[in-house]
Chains A and B, each alone.
Chain A
Amino acid sequence: MVCEKVLKGKYVNLRAVEKEDSEFILRLRNDESISKYLPKLNVSVEQQKVWIEKQRTDNDSYYFLFESKEGLPLGTISYYDIVGNHGESGRVCSIGNATQNVEALVLFYDYLFYELNVEYVTIWVYEDNKPVLSLKQSIGFKWTGNEVDAAGMQYRKGIINVQQYEEKIKLIKKMLKIG
């Protein structure tokens, strides 16, 4: 699925990933310093283009790229495994600064909760990825349990609904000096 419009913020814009973004995405995803906690994409640019073209026609995911106001690609974020009015968020990786990254999250969750009317969103975060655990908790995620992946790494599962998001978002938007 594709969000047809560009979600415009003060510091970044969020838009649907296009096949032309393949090279940037692969570079990001295969850079250990940026995407340490995401699976590597051992595919070619052409294979990634095919994957993106398919994703755009699937009905169970949205895949976003966020870019600076000057059009420089910064990172990605996705809502996927959608079943009815809930799904999972992830595929987050970025070369943006803190302000850009936080606003990208705000644009993303505003879209999910206020335009798609999503009931709740789930995530999972590796236990030693402390900054992301803190960030997700700070925007309203509640932790529901711990599990271990196939490689033996512990991760935490979380969930957020619109009420939990709204408890946090007003102050966050004030700090970002937006909406």
Chain B
Amino acid sequence: MKDVYYFIEKFKEMMHEIDDSFDYSNLIPETNLLDIEGWSSLAVVFLVTMVDEEFSKDISAEQIKASKTLSDIFNLI
């Protein structure tokens, strides 16, 4: 079932793909995006593609920018 915890696991994989030097084991739905190590414009770009591939949903960079937490992004899906 592709719930928020599935999304977070895919998010972790995505972030590791960008930069595997950070530890993402503590990410939870309430995690603030700006507190995530490695969060950047590039992560936003990767996230747009990940959501498209995993959830067949189009979300925009602007929608991600307006989101505060991981669950905010999941709610867009």
Contacts and interface: CB of A to CB of B under 8 A. Distances in A.
A98 B65 contact: yes
B3 to A, nearest CB: 24
Interface of A: 97-99, 101-102, 130-132, 134-135, 137-139, 171-172, 175-177
A76 to B, nearest CB: 15
Given A175-B46, A175-B49, A101 B41 contact: yes
A97 B61 contact: yes
A134 B46 contact: no
Contacts, number: 54
Given A97-B61, A99-B61, A171-B17, A135 B45 contact: no
Contacts of B60: 97
Nearest to A137: B19
Contact of A132 (B17, B21, B40, B49): B40
Interface of B: 17-19, 21, 34, 37-46, 48-49, 60-62, 64-65
Contacts of B37: 134
B64 A98 contact: yes
Contacts of A132: 40
Contacts of A176: 45
A172 B61 contact: no
Contacts of B41: 98, 101-102, 131, 135
Contact of A99 (B38, B39, B48): B48
B2 to A, nearest CB: 21
18 contacts: A97-B60, A97-B65, A98-B61, A98-B65, A99-B44, A99-B45, A102-B42, A131-B39, A131-B40, A134-B37, A135-B40, A137-B21, A138-B18, A138-B19, A138-B38, A138-B42, A172-B42, A175-B45
A173 to B, nearest CB: 10
A134 B48 contact: no
Q: Chain B CB within 10 Å — which of A97, A98, A130 has the most?
A: A98
